[in-house]
Amino acid sequence: MGLRFLRNGLLGLYLQRHHQHIMQVDTGFTFILFGGTGDLAMRKILPSLYQAHCGGLLPTAGRIAAVARGLSNREAYVQWMHTHVRNHVKLAGDDASWNDFLKRILFVRVDLGRPEDYALLRDIISPLSGIRVFYLATRPSLFVPICRALSTMGLSNDARIVLEKPLGYDLQSSNTINDAVGEIFVESHIYRIDHYLGKEPVQNLLALRFGNALFEPLWRREWVESIQITIAEELGVEGRGDFYDNTGALRDMVQNHLLQLLSIVAMEPPHSMHTNALRDEKLRVLRALKPIKPCDISRIAVRGQYHMGVLNGITVPAYVNERGVSTSSMTETFVALKVEIENWRWAGVPFFLRTGKRLANRVAEIVVNFRAVPHSVFGSMALRNGSNRLVIRLQPNEFIRLYCLAKQPGEGMNLQSVHLDLAFDEFFQKDRMEAYQRLLLDVINGRLALFVHRDEQEAAWQWVEPILAEWNRLGTAPRRYAAGTWGPAAASALLARHGTCWLEEEN
């Protein structure tokens, strides 16, 4: 059943003010990619820049300078791109488009630990015109040395810098990085990237709430019973065991992605779509998160670690048997939390956050469960599960789906749960922009709205740190769950205590 009343104007407010459609700047740019042969560059950054190139969204004078130390020259780097990058392009285009894109590519061999190597980088990029963007797709420990070397070489003046997560290991290390980067780059030139903020359904959530009169009056404690936010992955640590074993799901996913999604779901209407207006409202939500007391953590926080199981018909190893992971590791690969927001709009409404690796399906979604009608003239049928619910699917197949009750055809008044769909693939025929492509274009065009302000990051760390501290103090092992399941049984019990369940458990 088509969601007719949402289709007219659902995207209007946001798309008109934010994209129109990614206005192309007239001046050139130089995009300097540190970690130019890394996994992120291969899978996301370079394919996204190529898609923007094919769409005519990059200024013709723009150049891309890849920085790495593992290859000898530009020819070797171009060959590396042929072998590794083109396979990750969603729409490969023709050879002419690919070869035209390669003309933008420069390569600089730099050992990031040798300050003198930055002189070569300076000599290559200094003559290039336009704005300068430095993208640090490296481990966080290199952020400060890179920034200081850029400053020493005079390359940081009026430049923009993009910082990948994780930005630090805790609040103190995060502040150390932010302080050092802030001494060289002004805050308005620092782009802390969270790719979930670039996803189309996340931005459609803004349009849904603030561009339509239907939902905003219901978006509050009087009408909302609970909200679930899930980011589930089928993948394991994918060869990053040495990194992940020192990070864990709470730092890797909750402190950034999940809390950012929470802040967008729960924020007050901003006075405009201006960068500071959006960020200010998200920050208010993060500062209103109810602090978690150590004595409550075992009751409202579940941590788990996957062991051997069957996923899509294939037996996968336990986390502790992954390459780079300690066999005695107590790092969590799963987290479920009950979160509360202490303000008038959301007081008393539980937000359930969940993320994990090696789960049954790859899915990211927001589920808004509305309260049941106060008095049902149809009896208990009108109170059944599956109705009065809004599901916003972020991946893999993006949609917005409203569940409600309708009468079944035939004799009698028998009700059935039905849904009204806005399926983006069906309604919007044009290709949608991938999250990284949108965010990279925003950096080039100087738009900060979809990036994280330092204050947001600090507020998130301040809320997360007591959980980390208590887990470390207790020293108890995470609950085990079989790969290919939805996590520990305790995660289901967490919701059951509040009279609800995870979305997939209803079926």
160 is in an annotated binding site: no
Token pair in block for residue 403: 């569940």
69 is in an annotated binding site: yes
Q: Nearest to residue 41, comparing CAs of 138, 159, 168?
A: 138
Reduced to 3 states (helix: H, G, I; strand: E, B; else coil), residue 166 is coil
Query: Which distant-in-sequence residues (6+ apart) come within 8 Å of 4 by Cβ?
Result: none
195 is in an annotated binding site: yes
Q: Nearest to residue 184, comparing CAs of 126, 145, 135?
A: 145
Query: Which distant-in-sequence residues (6+ apart) come within 8 Å of 502 by Cβ?
Result: 228, 230, 352, 354, 486, 491, 492, 495
497 is in an annotated binding site: no
End-to-end Cα, the chain, rounded Å: 21
103 is in an annotated binding site: no
Q: Nearest to residue 109, comparing CAs of 142, 154, 72, 136?
A: 72
398 is in an annotated binding site: no
Q: 468, 171 in Cβ contact below 8 A? A: no
Q: 12-39: buried (b, 16+ CB within 10 Å) or exposed (e) per residue? A: ebbeeebbeebeebeeebbbbbbbbbbe
Catalytic residue among 53, 189, 257, 453: 257
Catalytic, 375? Answer no
Token pair in block for residue 250: 């709470």
Query: Which distant-in-sequence residues (6+ apart) come within 8 Å of 242 by Cβ?
Result: 324, 325
Q: How far apart are the C-alpha atoms of 314 and 319, rounded to whole Å?
A: 15
Token pair in block for residue 238: 């994918």
CA atoms within 13 A on the CB side of 193: 24
282 is in an annotated binding site: no
293 is in an annotated binding site: no
44 is in an annotated binding site: no
In this structure, the number of other CB atoms found within 10 A of the CB of residue 6 comes to 22
Q: What angle do CA 276, 279, 283 make, to 5 degrees?
A: 130
Q: How far apart are the C-alpha atoms of 126 and 154, rounded to whole Å?
A: 9
Which residues are annotated binding-site positions for NADP(+)? 69, 111-112, 165
Instruction: Report the binding-site residues.
Output: 69, 111-112, 165, 195, 199, 233, 252, 357
| Residue stretches of the annotated binding site for substrate | 195, 199, 233, 252, 357
Could you list the active site residues?
257
